[in-house]
Structure 1
Amino acid sequence: MSCIFIAMVTVGGAIIGLIILGMIIIGSIRTARSGGLSDHDKDARTEEARMIQDIYNALPRMEERIEALETILSERGHKS
């Protein structure tokens, strides 16, 4: 009785393992064919990269403004 149970569990595990392996292979083939990203994902990444570049390019100006505000606040602090 226990031999039959062990055989069923072993065969069932092997079948599940083959199914998972097949899904992995199919997924990798689909990814390779489509280039990995859909057009929507590529557009989203391009937009994110553009936004990051805009933020990076605006940082020096923001730093100048912060320094100006620090100067104003320090001058006001000395007058009191």
Structure 2
Amino acid sequence: MQQIPDHAPSSVSVENQFPEDLFDAMKEFVRLHPQWDQYRLMQAALAGFLFQHGCKDRAVARHYLNGLFQRATANSGSSAP
């Protein structure tokens, strides 16, 4: 079993094309929920999908749970989602 690192994992840039209606819905969600951004939303969505479809990697589970319970950052001035 892999150990969960104590430091933040390196990031990988991903390019994807979304249907316009999904992209518009994402923009509207981020506009209405300023504590979220497109990156946090996509990370939460991907981790949630993998976790809910049987991925057993502890790091994926951690990202999934962090997406559910992460509080807004201090500079956003808003409360938790």
Who wins on radius of gyration, i.e. which is larger? 1
Q: TM-score by structure 1 length?
A: 0.26
Higher helix fraction: Structure 1 or Structure 2?
1
Which structure has more relative contact order (CA 8 Å, sep 6+)? It is 2
Q: TM-score by structure 2 length?
A: 0.26
